[in-house]
Chains A and B, each alone.
Chain A
Amino acid sequence: MSDNPEQFRYSEEHEWLSAAENGVSTVGITRFAADALGDVVFVDLPSVGRTVTAGETCGELESTKSVSELYSPVSGEITEINDAVVEDPALLNSEPFEAGWLFRVRIDESAEPARLMSAAEYDGLTNG
């Protein structure tokens, strides 16, 4: 059932991080997380320009039954947020790895690297 893309890295908070392009990575939540939340109805994202620290709360995802905090998987500066997913949170459920991405972050190379998992390791976490 797992469709966690090989090229991403994953956090224990069920977020994915794309490989950096020009120092900037894209962040989203995994299909496992989206399925667990159910229909997401409200997405609160950090503002562009904000500096975040790995593991820090930087937003909220609200679904029919619950509200979950959003964490940044890495330290850095928010460079862009996905306005489309704010407008239509259902994208998180339908395409969590693509159109449902959440924000882009310029990774702070001087910060201690966050401990992230490979797709295989994350598969192990969610199938366990």
Chain B
Amino acid sequence: MSQSSDAPPNVTRTTPLDAVHRSLGAVMTDFAGWRMPLRYGSERAEHQAVRTAAGLFDLSHMGEIAVTGPAAGALLDHALVGEPSALAVGRARYTMICDERGGILDDLIVYRLADHEFLVVANAANTDTVLSALLARRTGFDAAVRDDRDRYALIAVQGPASPAVLGRLTDADLGALRYYAGLPGTVAGRPVMIARTGYTGEDGFELFCAAEDAETLWAALTGAGEPDGLVPCGLACRDTLRLEAGMPLYGNELTTGTTPFDAGLGRVVKLGKPDGFVGRDALAAAAERAEERPPRVLVGLLATGRRVPRAGYPVVTADGTVVGAVTSGAPSPTLGRPIAMAYVDPAHAAPGTAGVAVDVRGTHEPCEVVTLPFYKRRK
């Protein structure tokens, strides 16, 4: 886990919902400098609730950064690998910010709120890094970069029942709100930016609200979700949900030592942007390398036994040769078997490759190489 914060290392931030989590009896954990709910009861039950009904998440640790001004879009085109200036107002995009060598500093979601206003959402552990990079890259652009972490709380409602749950609390036209779109609206009488985004592999919404409205919204969503079986959900199930959905996690699959092409996410890099961008030359080279002689390939592993391949465990062949490393692994509640993501040598990366195992504390546990994601919802 990477850590970076200007705050003294022993100061842990709390979200506006901290008291709520405590009253719910959550098991709390320190995550990227924040005290966050890990689980409220059984994390597997929370996971299943999101797959079959709905779950409520406090994601207020995520880092909101406002980028505004006439050249806000141009600044983001220069600073990020994507092309936010081409986004329509009300749309969002998954993107990344890289260093000059093409290494990933963070993966981001960028929302275009207005012509001259963007909301960049960074991972908690990387928000200071992203802020510094955006400020450093701002030179020459008529745009402002503002740390908005204290302004917002972020509450997610995820799962097949989430449109019904949220629909009870808002007049906003949720049916017209497409995946990766966001619009300002009113939920339970409070102004909210409603985004149809998530990190669970299910339909769902992320609600950016004022910090002081967080408790009201949480209570309203809890009440509105009761008939559908909505439950509060912690970070433990968020991790297994995103892993089943094959979504990368910064610090695990994505690092400064990885380019988007290495992670199989080269599609987010717009090499053809007219004015270039930070990391362009290195990324163009990484794109060629990935095409001709890829280093290691990100694959899915499905364990045949019950022991769980975990981050850092070596991927091996029958004769014990190390051909890769696990980046994330967990018991999958949906598949009923352990699953993992791993970087492996191309010779062993094809789905169905035989003889691949993970060294689980000295024992070779056979695994199937499979195509990501492990789980895809029915639309």
Interface residues of A (CB under 8 A from B): 35, 38-39, 41-42, 44, 60, 62, 64-65, 67, 93
Contact = CB atoms under 8 A, between A and B. Distances in A.
Given A38-B236, A64-B236, A93 B307 contact: no
Nearest to A66: B310
B128 interface: no
A38 B47 CA distance: 13
Nearest to A44: B307
Given A41-B331, A42-B331, A64 B310 contact: no
Interface residues of B, number: 16
Interface in B26-85: 27, 38-39, 42-44
A39 B308 contact: no
A41 B308 contact: yes
B236 A42 contact: no
Nearest to A62: B308
Contact of A64 (B240, B306, B307): B240
B271 interface: no
Interface in B342-379: 361
Interface residues of B: mostly helix, strand, loop or mixed?
A: mixed
Contacts of A42: 306-308, 331
Interface of B: 27, 38-39, 42-44, 236, 239-240, 306-308, 310, 330-331, 361
Contacts of A41: 44, 306, 308, 331
A65 B236 contact: yes
Contacts of A60: 307
B339 to A, nearest CB: 12
Contacts of B236: 38, 64-65
11 contacts: A38-B38, A39-B43, A39-B44, A41-B308, A41-B331, A62-B306, A64-B44, A64-B240, A65-B38, A65-B236, A93-B42
Contact of B310 (A38, A39, A67, A93): A67
A67 B44 contact: no
